[in-house]
Amino acid sequence: MTHTWNPEQYLRYGDERARPFLDLTARIGAERPGLVVDLGAGPATQTRLLAERWPGAEVLAVDSSPEMIARADLVEGLTAVHGDLRTWTPPGEVDVLVTNAALQWVPGHLDEMPRLAGMLAPGGWFAMQVPGNFDEPSHTIRRDLADQEPYAAHLQGIASPASYDAATYLRALQGAGLEVDAWETVYLHVLHGPDPVFEWVSGTGARPTLQALPEALRTEFEEEFKARLREAYPEHGHGVVLPFRRVFAVGRRH
């Protein structure tokens, strides 16, 4: 079952979503790369930071969503490319390969590590980040609701994100021939406004579920989902705190 992405909804919490990207790319030690690729770049809002960091590089923002590519925030040296990270082939050896908050949507993505590492030039850098919060209420509530009727009949085979811990990625990338640094961070995002956790997840992990439901059922599902999220993430007068675990790995080809 396919779904589409809404760049405006995704960017509603753009500052919070950018923090892991900045922490990830800060660990890349490349000085003068020729080819820089961001796989699963979305609207390229963060990819443009790579073009600004390395103005002499050719920077490609690759994404499988036509909506995201159409919304791409381009600067000099940055090109948006429509492509699926599972099958896309770079035009040459890559000096910096970034995939930020994308691999969780690829089932069995550990098997992709040798292919991704194989894109690197000698001395090239690979940097990845995925969410690691799939056991948090923001996800478990959605899954529990989706398993109930009348919703379950419409939600068979929907895209469902998943990831591993940092140690698993470290071993996988070492096995692909890289020197690896891996770590995890829990961000405490303070969100404001009505039902902010619902607004957050409806732009990412919950979007395939919501799109798969008929309109009448979607409204019922959303109302129950919001009510349960409000209980799980209460407002205490200073905003709603959303703990968000992220998993990182940066590797360099020998």
CB 109 within 8 A of CB 103: yes
Provide the whole-model pTM.
0.91
CATH number at residue 209: 3.40.50.150
Using pLDDT thresholds of 50, 70 and 90, give the confidence band for residue 4. low
- pLDDT beyond 60 at 180: yes
Backbone angles phi and psi of 67, in degrees to 5:
-65, -40
- pLDDT beyond 50 at 29: yes
What confidence score (pLDDT) does residue 211 get? Answer: 92
CB 178 within 8 A of CB 126: yes
- Give percent of the chain with pLDDT exceeding 90: 85
CB 173 within 8 A of CB 250: no
Residue 1 included in any domain: no
R_g (Cα) of the chain, nearest Å:
19
What confidence score (pLDDT) does residue 159 get? Answer: 81
**pLDDT 10s digits, 103-149:** 999 999 999 999 999 999 999 999 999 999 999 999 999 999 999 99
In this structure, the strands spanning 240-253 and 178-191 are antiparallel
What confidence score (pLDDT) does residue 203 get? Answer: 82
Average pLDDT of the chain, as a whole number: 93
Mean pLDDT, residues 8-18: 65
- pLDDT beyond 60 at 32: yes
Residue 55 included in any domain: yes
Residue 21 included in any domain: yes
State the number of CA atoms in the 13 A half-sphere of 229 facing the CB: 25
Residue 230 included in any domain: yes
Residue 142 included in any domain: yes
Looking at 74-133, list the stretches that DSSP marks H as alpha helix, in order from N- to C-terminal side.
113-117
DSSP 8-state code for residue 76: T
What confidence score (pLDDT) does residue 15 get? Answer: 80
Least confident among 28-42, 62-76, 98-112? 62-76
Measure the CA–CA gap between 69 and 39, rounded to whole angstroms: 12
What confidence score (pLDDT) does residue 13 get? Answer: 58
- pLDDT beyond 50 at 82: yes
Residue 2 included in any domain: no
CB 253 within 8 A of CB 178: yes
- pLDDT beyond 70 at 210: yes
Residue 246 included in any domain: yes
Task: Identify any residues that bridge with 187 across adjacent strands, giving them in sequence order.
Answer: 244
Residue 229 included in any domain: yes
Domain count, the chain: 1
The residue segments making up the domain with residue 77 are 7-253
What confidence score (pLDDT) does residue 74 get? Answer: 87
